[in-house]
């Protein structure tokens, strides 16, 4: 049976992931638009499967999303001369997975608000400007 709400939640997660990925893409970061969309889709699907297949313990699969995203994020972090690169991108992947999971569990407005907040932080908060 085709579940339109399942597709809606995954699509919403993909849109929110795309919003964050757009910022990373335009700044030529290691994980851009496609990566963030795919992370969002994956996190949403695993969250929904966890919720629908294991309603008595939906946190079991969903909790492991954090672990999986940790491995992806670690792949974006590297040392360059005297500083570390990729931490913000790793954090944005982590946040994207959380936003996607929230959208998958039906927290539509909350996940939108957090996606916009993450986008605004990535777009307007510059560490060099604060120092």
| Full pLDDT tens readout for the chain, 131 residues | 678 999 999 999 999 999 999 999 999 988 899 999 999 999 999 999 988 888 888 777 778 888 888 888 887 878 778 888 788 899 999 999 999 999 999 999 999 999 999 999 999 988 766 55
Distance CA 6, CA 121 (A): 29
Phi (first) and psi of residue 16, to 5 degrees: -65, -40
Whether residue 23 is contained in a domain is answered as yes
Nearest to 88 by CA among 24, 40, 131: 24
Q: Please, what is the angle between helix 59-76 and helix 33-53, to 10°? A: 160
Q: Which of 4, 9, 89, 1 is nearest to 46 (CA)?
A: 9
Residue 131 lies in a domain: no
HSE-CB at 14 with a 13 A cutoff on CA atoms is 11
In a domain, 55, yes or no: yes
Whether residue 87 is contained in a domain is answered as yes
Tell me, yes or no, whether 130 lies in a domain.
Answer: no
Q: Is residue 114 part of a domain?
A: yes
Range of the domain at 83: 4-125
In a domain, 112, yes or no: yes
Pairing of strands 83-85, 78-80: antiparallel
| Residue 38 in domain | yes
Q: How many domains does the chain have?
A: 1
């Amino acid at each position: 049976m085709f579940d339109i709400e399942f597709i809606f939640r995954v699509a919403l997660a993909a849109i929110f992931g795309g919003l964050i990925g757009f910022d990373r893409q335009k700044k030529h970061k290691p994980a851009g638009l496609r990566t963030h969309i795919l992370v969002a889709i994956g996190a949403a699907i695993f969250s929904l499967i966890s919720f629908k297949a294991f309603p008595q313990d939906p946190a079991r699969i969903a909790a492991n999303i954090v672990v999986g995203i940790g491995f992806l994020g670690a792949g974006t972090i590297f040392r360059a001369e005297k500083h570390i690169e990729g931490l913000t991108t790793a954090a944005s992947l982590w946040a994207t997975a959380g936003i996607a999971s929230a959208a998958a569990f039906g927290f539509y407005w909350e996940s939108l608000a957090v996606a916009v907040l993450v986008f605004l932080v990535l777009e307007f908060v510059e560490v060099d400007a604060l120092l």
